[in-house]
Amino acid sequence: RINGQRLISRLERLGEIGALPGGGCCRLALTEEDRQGRELVISWMYELGLQVSSDAMGNVFGLRPGTEDSPPVMTGSHIDTVRTGGIYDGNLGVLGGLEVIETLNEAGIVTRRPLCVAFFTNEEGARFAPDMMGSLVYVGGMSLDDALATKGIDGQRVGDCLEQIGARGSEPVGNPDVHAYVELHIEQGPVLEESSITIGAVEKVQGISWQEFCFTGTSNHAGTTPMRLRHDAGYAAMATGSFVRELANRIGGDQVGTVGALQMEPNLVNVVANQASLTVDLRNTDNDRLKQAEAELLDFIERLAEREGIEVQHRTLARFDPVPFDTDMIDCVEASAKAFGHSVMRMPSGAGHDAQMLARVCPTAMIFVPSVDGISHNINEYTAPEDLEAGTNVLLRVLLDLAG
Amino acid sequence: RINGQRLISRLERLGEIGALPGGGCCRLALTEEDRQGRELVISWMYELGLQVSSDAMGNVFGLRPGTEDSPPVMTGSHIDTVRTGGIYDGNLGVLGGLEVIETLNEAGIVTRRPLCVAFFTNEEGARFAPDMMGSLVYVGGMSLDDALATKGIDGQRVGDCLEQIGARGSEPVGNPDVHAYVELHIEQGPVLEESSITIGAVEKVQGISWQEFCFTGTSNHAGTTPMRLRHDAGYAAMATGSFVRELANRIGGDQVGTVGALQMEPNLVNVVANQASLTVDLRNTDNDRLKQAEAELLDFIERLAEREGIEVQHRTLARFDPVPFDTDMIDCVEASAKAFGHSVMRMPSGAGHDAQMLARVCPTAMIFVPSVDGISHNINEYTAPEDLEAGTNVLLRVLLDLAG
Ligand SMILES: NC(=O)NCCC(=O)O
Ligand SMILES: NC(=O)NCCC(=O)O
């Protein structure tokens, strides 16, 4: 059994890097805070005797050799956060992995297959789109060059930032050879808590569509310009925001739709905006419905731009189909939870995760633990100590099962 | 008759300060650009032999003594601009005034009453609300202390900025003694151009209402948070923007409504916003209808906040009733335009102007000249040279009429 207190100490220690005044933390990908976080986690990897390597995308791997020199069983997640992040999202998967390693070290257990604890670059996608960028490049789903050239919300490039914080490793990316991947994560939603269940055996990740729209209209005087003569880029952006809500409600089921980012120019009280850009995040477990939502959105934007006499530029920032996980792996998570006497349910994931990328190259599953009030990407994100411990014990058992 | 070429040279020279790449200029109130603009205009005042003074609010006055030591006839406007401003808005009124002075100097004419060319601090209100702040304080409609304590969109205070750019003058504010005020300005709207008329004799300024709303919701994960559990501050702001358009169209007539500024926090693609603030600019020539629009807006916001489970903070940034101008003064503008053979029409002003503040203390009117395509607060703002000249000749004649 793992040591829950030790796990929590590490979570809290890592959470100090980029800590926010009211709690939670801000450790956006490839910032100075990310650099400090990486340094700390890598120092722990060395302390635990892991063989540390990193690749050209800044993904970091801590290997614990097995008795066999075969492809490792991998676990992990990410340590970057959003701007209003908690200390569990991502970090739990990485530090839970290290806690499993320390537990095995103490017990003197050597597995047949090697074990590997990884953390992947820029999972959140909050600074650089798409999300899960590091693991996507790792599995060959995006070229390294495209990833390095990606510009963030602050105009900086991934490649330059990787260099600046010294996170660009020497290992090439691509052709990963992994026996299986399992990732422990907080649910980040309300389902487990509402069902009073401790462990989620994640069956699939819903489809994710991130779209960016930039409207160009005509700046003009807010007092003198009659409504009928306006080409108001700001209005177009706000009308899109209202439409996204209406669209998600109309499609219903588990469809969600969010406009989380919006900027207007010149952004002054008495000037009709000439520029406005916004992002739309659409998700559904059913890809056909997700495609329907995307089509309706594009249709709305086209008619809106025509009616308002404004130009629109459109870019897809991320698009991932729903990803089903491996049934044997899901069974294994479920069985392990039951072996500890924990309540368990099968469920989809609403958030994107590195696991969905690893699923392209090896049998994959995820273990969820409850999020209090279903809150995440919020400084009040919280998971109870007993749930953190329960999830990490399930991780231990699944890893032992897979690594033999 | 005034010298149109000399007027245009001064407009272009002043327009170089804060010039934007594609044309137009950005000379926000009390910035370094404003300082340079002030320096240039004051140097011209001295060259023309004016007695220059400035008050504690940074309003600047260039006096040309008359044969009588009586209250002056005043003209002027402002030299601050919005972020996407043109070179005519405000500047024409000030430099047109100087052109009149130079014409009188050349002709060796001394008026009975003194003449005064003024420019007032922060007319635009783009950086610090309310608009027309300098003239409002000048006429005693706002206390100097309140004005100096006002925080701008960048968090800086009027008082500190006045000090920083050395614009705080030695004259006290309040108790102005002005015989009459007339202001030359570009229309900034489409009416004169659509009617093929050269001169607008402005009868009144419409009512202006600026409201700011700050919504506080709960940041949460865009993928995991069901629509029904959201407290989305960004959605509330965008829904308000859609409502303002609908409201203005529904009230109809000359009602306008604009959301020109909006910020969201943390402003990330996959985070439901926990904070969003926006400004609403509502205007109508009819104060009852303006009050109706304000009441409907507040009612909408209240129901929205309740339904979405979010907090709302509300602040009025500016509120001015419609202002009628002096009928004799309007007649005088009309007669002067006709004397030059210019077509002229009576019309309301859609924009706010310093004249509406001066109207509290003395007989006041305004002279409008056409804006090509009705465009202003835009780098493509333009008024034809012959219209600039026509308006300035009308100004000359009105001033001579008033000053005797
Ligand atoms: N786990 C997590 O919050 N991932 C961020 C990517 C996303 O789902 O938007
Ligand atoms: N003339 C002018 O653009 N004034 C700015 C104040 C306003 O009308 O918003």
Phi, psi values for residue B396, rounded to 5°: -55, -50
Amino acid in the structure at residue A30: L
| pLDDT value of residue B175 | 78
Q: Does B123 contact ligand 2 (Cβ within 6 A)? A: yes
Residue A174: pLDDT over 80: no
- pLDDT exceeds cutoff 90 at B251: yes
Per-residue confidence band for A395, with pLDDT thresholds at 50, 70 and 90: very high
Give the mean pLDDT of chain A.
97
pLDDT for position B58: 98
Q: Which atom of ligand 1 is nearest to the CA of B269?
A: 9
Q: Does B107 touch chain A (CB under 8 A)?
A: no
Q: Which of B80, B91, B127, B131 to mutate to test the pocket of ligand 2 (most atoms within 8 A of CB)?
A: B131
- Closest atom of ligand 1 to CA, residue A350: 8
CA distance A296 to chain B (A): 18
pLDDT at site B7: 98
Is the CB of A24 inside 8 Å of chain B's CB atoms? no
Is the pLDDT reported for residue B14 higher than 90? yes
Nearest by CB to residue A268, choosing from B239, B255, B261, is B261
Q: Chain B, 337-366: which have a CB under 8 Å from a chain A CB?
A: 349-352
Say whether residue A267 is in contact with chain B using an 8 A CB cutoff: yes
Strand partners, A365: A182
Those residues whose C-beta lies under 8 Å from the C-beta of residue B295, and which sit 6 or more positions away, are: none
C-beta atoms of A220 and B377 within 8 A: yes
What is the length of chain A?
404
Are the C-beta atoms of B185 and B367 separated by less than 8 Å?
A: yes
B 114-133 → A contacts, CB under 8 A: 124-126, 129, 131
Binding residue positions of B for Zn(2+): 78, 89, 124, 185, 377
What burial class does residue A373 get, using C-beta atoms within 10 Å of its C-beta: 0-12 exposed, 13-18 middle, 19+ buried? middle
Q: Report helix, strand or coil for B125.
A: coil
- Which residues, other chains included, contact A124 with Cβ-Cβ below 8 Å and sequence gap of 6+? A28, A29, A78, A80, A81, A82, A85, A90, A131, B270
pLDDT for the residue numbered A244: 98
CA angle A93, A98, A100 (to 5 degrees): 95
| Full 3-state SS string of B212-241 | EEEEECCCEECCCCCHHHCCCHHHHHHHHH
pLDDT digits (tens, 9 = 90+) for A303-324: 999 999 999 999 999 999 999 9
Question: Which pLDDT value is given to residue B167?
Answer: 97
Q: Is the CB of B34 under 6 A from ligand 2?
A: no
Chain B window 247-266: which residues touch A at a Cβ cutoff of 8 Å? 248-249, 254-266
Give how far A263 is from chain B: nearest CA, Å.
7
Q: Is B116 helix (H, G, I), strand (E, B) or coil?
A: strand
Burial A350-368 (b: 16+ CB within 10 A, else e): bbbbbbbbbbebbbbbbbb
CA distance to A26, B59, B241, per residue, from B103 (Å): 63, 24, 49
Q: Does A190 touch chain B (CB under 8 A)?
A: yes
Asked if A378 is an interface residue toward chain B (Cβ–Cβ < 8 A), one would say: yes
In chain A, what residues touch B187 (CB-CB under 8 Å)?
Answer: 224
Axis-axis angle for helices A4-15, A385-403 (nearest 10): 110
Cα–Cα dist A238/A272, whole Å: 13
pLDDT in tens, A66-94: 999 999 999 999 999 999 999 999 999 99
With CA atoms as reference, report the closest residue to A64 among A122, A103, A7, A8.
A103
Give pLDDT, residue A93.
98
Interface of A with B in 275-304 (CB under 8 A): 279, 281, 283
Average pLDDT over residues B199-219: 98
* Residue ranges lining ligand 1, Cβ < 6 Å: A 89, 123-125, 131, 188, 351-353; B 221, 223, 270
Query: Does the annotation list A314 as a binding residue?
Result: no
Residues A210-229 pLDDT 10s: 999 999 999 999 999 999 99
Q: Respond yes or no on whether the N-terminal peptide bond of residue B130 is cis (omega within 30° of 0).
A: yes
> What is the residue whose two structure tokens read 């993904």?
A59
Do residues B158 and B149 lie in contact, with contact meaning Cβ atoms separated by under 8 Å? yes
Interface test with B, best of A209, A221, A383 (most B CBs within 10 A): A221
Cβ-contact A274, B258 below 8 angstroms: no
pLDDT score, position A389: 98
**Residue A145 in tokens:** 């060059």
- pLDDT computed for residue A175 by the predictor: 78
Output the six-digit token pair for A275.
């520029």
Residue A320 β-bridge partners: A208
Percentage of chain A with pLDDT > 90?
99
CA of A301 to the centre of ligand 2 (A): 31
Contact A155 CB / ligand 2 (< 6 Å): no
Ligand 2 atom 9 nearest Cα: A270
Q: Which of A77, A82, A124 to mutate to test the pocket of ligand 1 (most atoms within 8 A of CB)?
A: A124
Q: Probe ligand 1: pick from B220, B225, B269, B270, max atoms within 8 Å of CB?
A: B270
How many CB pairs below 8 A link A and B? 269
pLDDT(A153) > 90: yes
Assigned token pair, A233: 């880029």
Q: What's the one-letter identity of residue A387?
A: D
- Whole-angstrom distance between the N-terminal and C-terminal Cα of chain A? 17
HSE toward the beta carbon, residue B184, CA cutoff 13 A: 32
Residue B126 sits at φ, ψ, to 5 deg, of -75, -35
Residues of chain B with pLDDT > 70: what percent? 100
Please tell me the pTM assigned to this model.
0.94
Residue B300 has pLDDT above 90, yes or no: yes
Tokens 């629509």 locate to: B227
Nearest to B221 among A227, A317, A350 (CB): A350
CA trace torsion A315, B266, B246, A223 (10° rounding): -100
- The residue whose two tokens read 């959140």 is A124
For a pLDDT cut of 90, what percent of chain B falls above it? 99
Length of chain B in terms of residues written: 404
CB burial of A379-389 (b: ≥16 within 10 Å; e: otherwise) equals bbbbbeeebbb
Distance CA B267, CA A227 (A): 28
Mean pLDDT for B196-204 is: 98
pLDDT at B174 over 90: no
* Model pLDDT for residues A363-389, shown as the tens digit of each residue: 999 999 999 999 999 999 999 999 999
pLDDT in tens, A18-28: 999 999 999 99
